[in-house]
Structure 1
Amino acid sequence: MKQVTRHFAAIVFSSALLTVSSAAIARAADVVIVANGGATQDAERKAVWEPAAKALGFTFDEDTSQSWTEGKAQVDAGAVTWDIVSLNMGEVPLALKANILSKLPADIVDRKDFVAGSVNDYCVGNTVFSTLIAYSTAKFGDQGPTNFVDFWDVKKFPGKRLMFKGPRGNMEAAALALGHPRTEVYKFLSTEEGRKAALDKIAELKPYAVWFDSGAQSTQLVRDGEVDMIYGWNGRIIAAIDAGAPFKINYKDSLLDIDCYAVLNGAPNIDNAIKFVKEISKAEYVKDLPKYIAYGSPNLKANASYDEKTLDRLTTSPQNAAEAYTTDFDFWGKYGTTLSEAFDHMLASN
């Protein structure tokens, strides 16, 4: 402790040490965890990371990232400063192809306690969320868009649409807007013709779309009244509604998705990272996540403690899940890279 105190005192009194490397900072903590910032990361810190760290006697540092490729850059450079990263389950196959994830112990969690598909050999699910439509009641009253055909109808529902700046979720939404039922979305998108048609459909909204890069940005734009409707992440939208944004959520054809914790190859604190993932995946912590953001946990044991009011706000509740369909992670593992490139090209073209 005295050594750490002297270290930080030196930073204060020596301008030379103001350029201390991020690697040195990372190794000052027992574990470094990375998520995507904003309300979600705040919720994870309060509900999960802080009490779990206290139980383990750990200290932790944290960082934010919007892409698993930032972790890849660290691994490729042989200069890894992060230990645990939060990924989307659909990104895990891409990260594995890049050989940047460390295999987790088989007993890190009891998979029977988790939603099917939310745990694999390299990642343990941390949140279940959905991508869905919400609209401004200040503009549309209670008569906003009820499905994706409506969301694409700029004459019946004029105004700015807030959408994620990437293909995930938008490809599925475009398939629905083209008239395909949710049970056939991935069958349609698994053909070259279907993927092209979906990208062309997304391109129709370019003059009316505002693109967000992060969940925090989407919450802020909704709160500020910069858009009239959004196809975005439920917890971020509810955070804006809780802050006073006059928006209403529509759960019909919402797309259920899962984020998870993984450990980077070459992580400087790999043993601590595995211990921390094991601890922060326990129901005793994740059950408190909805106190801070409207996301549920893949750990099914967490659901037993929720009252009806809490369940109403979660995509995992029976009434909301009945309106939803689930992300096909194999599809995104197969087509994620090429669709990201095609999406970027579509945005850049006239």
Structure 2
Amino acid sequence: MNYIRHRLAVFSASALIMLGGMVSASAADIVIVGAGGISQEAQKKALWEPAAKALGWTFEEDTSQSWTEARAQVDAGAVSWDIISLNMGEVQLAVDAGVIIKLPSDIVDRKDFVPGSVNDYCVGNSVFSTVVAYSTKKYGNNGPKTMQDFWDVKKFPGKRGLFRSPRGNLEAAALALGHSPSEVYDFLSTDAGKKAAFDKIAELKPYAIWWDSGAQATQLVKDGEVDMIYGWNGRLQAAIDDGAPFKINYKDGLLDSDCYAVVKGAPHTNNAIRFIKEISKPEYIKNLPKYMAYGGANLKAYAQYDEKTLSRLASSPENAKQQYPTNVDFWGKNGTTLSEAFDNMILSK
């Protein structure tokens, strides 16, 4: 995430609170917050709307790019959100900051979920991957096949789209330096490894277009502003489905998951817990790929997918075996420090 932007968001939210601009507790049964764009729209259609109908509830939705915006509400004692979606790698940061609550141990059956997609504070909603996609108009079918190719600006000239965050980029840089997926986090756990990875990312600064949201990544691909991009598979697939001449390469993709958490001091805490339990059922999760190329975290939904659907999901067995999982403990421990270092690297000449 772009932590400079997030700090500004927190400041703005805090200012609204002080000015009395924060929304009071909603009259709806639940207020749920997503990341916006096609991801939020997909979750609304597949999960939120049918679950609310089944419960006989009404819901309101909002959009946020960072859990730190929820922190501003908690710190001000003016919480208007119930459920927020955040990345698994951010959960420990939110816990340490006192922003989200511990969930009941029986909220879901963890054995039914993708390993690592459920913990004491968050329940997985979607599984995605950060992957390379490249322009077939520019490279044909001979685009970059490895992270070393992604960094090779002589063999593959052109603009690169990169998320304005250390997450994913540090792992990719470690691969570009010649380390295998199994070695990535051991390498990044050393000071020398972190420095080498940041130096490697800095090599791409003259060729990089930094994106801040999934919607922006989709638009960069659709508009042809980048020749290749390292981004979230569902957002990239959406651009391809809209006609963008790009191809996704799942090799060395970084598997990850987003999850639902309940904000501390939420106006409808009990409803929020019940709603997460409901929307995590396979009868809703199975419909998620109808609206976006993301699989749900509940594995019971996968038995109902055909081959075409599975081929578009990062979490399908065939695609998943080419990838490696995000180490959320690494990001929980190092996220804040690495984000500050990343911002400094971006802003330096």
**Fold shared by both chains (TM-score > 0.5):** yes
> Aligned equivalents of 2:203 and 2:133: distance in 1?
20
Does structure 1 residue 210 correspond to structure 2 residue 218?
no
**The structure with more radius of gyration:** 1
> Aligned equivalents of 2:104 and 2:95: distance in 1?
16
Unaligned runs of 5+ in 1: 1-18
> Aligned equivalents of 1:49 and 1:22: distance in 2?
24
> Aligned equivalents of 2:332 and 2:272: distance in 1?
25
Distance apart, 1:23 and its partner CA: 2.4
C-alpha contact 2:125 2:257 (8 A) present in aligned 1: yes
> Aligned equivalents of 1:297 and 1:193: distance in 2?
37
Q: Provide the secondary structure at the position in 1 that maps to 2:61.
A: strand
The 1:76/1:22 distance shift into structure 2, 3 A limit, reads closer
* Aligned AA (2:213): S
Does structure 1 residue 120 correspond to structure 2 residue 119?
yes
> CA-atom RMSD, angstroms?
1.1
* Aligned AA (1:293): M
Does structure 1 residue 227 correspond to structure 2 residue 232?
no
Q: Provide the secondary structure at the position in 2 that maps to 1:129.
A: strand
Q: Provide the secondary structure at the position in 2 that maps to 1:252.
A: strand
C-alpha contact 2:95 2:101 (8 A) present in aligned 1: no
Q: Which deviations, in whole Å up to 9, do the C-alpha atoms of 1:162-198 show, x marking residues without a partner?
A: 0100000000000000000011000100001000110
Q: Which deviations, in whole Å up to 9, do the C-alpha atoms of 1:286-312 show, x marking residues without a partner?
A: 110000000011101000100000000
Q: Provide the secondary structure at the position in 2 that maps to 1:23.
A: coil
> Aligned equivalents of 1:51 and 1:297: distance in 2?
16
* Aligned AA (1:269): H
2:23 match: 23
Does structure 1 residue 292 correspond to structure 2 residue 291?
yes
Distance apart, 1:145 and its partner CA: 0.6
1:96 match: 95
> Aligned equivalents of 2:73 and 2:180: distance in 1?
41
1:173-252 correspondence to structure 2 within 5 Å: 173-252=172-251
> Aligned equivalents of 1:196 and 1:58: distance in 2?
51
> Aligned equivalents of 1:333 and 1:102: distance in 2?
17
Distance apart, 1:21 and its partner CA: 5.0
> Aligned equivalents of 1:300 and 1:142: distance in 2?
33
2:9 match: none
2:161 match: 162
1:111 match: 110
> Aligned equivalents of 1:217 and 1:88: distance in 2?
18
2:73 match: 74
Q: Provide the secondary structure at the position in 1 that maps to 2:23.
A: helix
| Percent identity of equivalent pairs | 72
2:137 match: 138
Distance apart, 1:64 and its partner CA: 0.8
**Could you state the TM-score of these two structures normalised by the residue count of structure 1?**
0.93
> Aligned equivalents of 2:40 and 2:262: distance in 1?
17
C-alpha contact 2:46 2:288 (8 A) present in aligned 1: yes
Distance apart, 1:316 and its partner CA: 1.3
> Aligned equivalents of 1:247 and 1:234: distance in 2?
12
* Aligned AA (1:23): V
- 4+ residue stretches of structure 1 with deviation over 3 A? 19-22
Distance apart, 1:141 and its partner CA: 0.4
Unaligned runs of 5+ in 2: 1-18
> Aligned equivalents of 1:272 and 1:347: distance in 2?
42
